[in-house]
Amino acid sequence: MAKWKRNNYKFWHSPIALVVIFCVFLLFGYNIIGLIQKEKETSHKKELMLDQINNLQEKKASLTSDISKLETEEGKEEIIREKYDVTKIGEKMVTIVDEDQSNQQTQEETVDHGFWNWVSGIFKK
């Protein structure tokens, strides 16, 4: 029996066995590195999905509040007034015009373009 243990001991310490064991360890190491990379990708995708879920939940909450607002009479009135610039019977609407914009518009309207206007402009100067 001692002879069998001795031969077994020589086999595991032989260069061939050590090369085979080393190759197996390299194969396992390579696979572990691949698994680590896949785990990182998966965790990154998970974070992106969680962010997307949070954004969708916030959007859902916002839309739910808008829907509940539209179900009230005041909400309907507000949306109609914003979209169509209307007033109720008896109300008056005031439009405020910026002076700079109105001056620019009148100046642009008075300037005429064309060949005859150019010719007459030469003789007026």
User: What is the rounded distance in angstroms from the CA atom of residue 115 to the CA atom of residue 38?
Assistant: 73
What pLDDT, in 10s, does the model give residues 28-57? 999 999 999 999 999 999 999 999 999 999
What pLDDT, in 10s, does the model give residues 72-125? 888 888 888 888 878 888 888 777 777 776 566 665 555 566 777 777 777 775
3-state secondary structure 32-66: HHHHHHHHHHHHHHHHHHHHHHHHHHHHHHHHHHH
Q: What pTM, to 2 d.p., does this model score?
A: 0.47
pLDDT of residue 1: 47
pLDDT of residue 69: 87
Q: Which residues of 99-112 are buried (b: 16+ CB within 10 A; e: fewer)?
A: eeeeeeeeeeeeee
Token representation of residue 23 = 């190759």
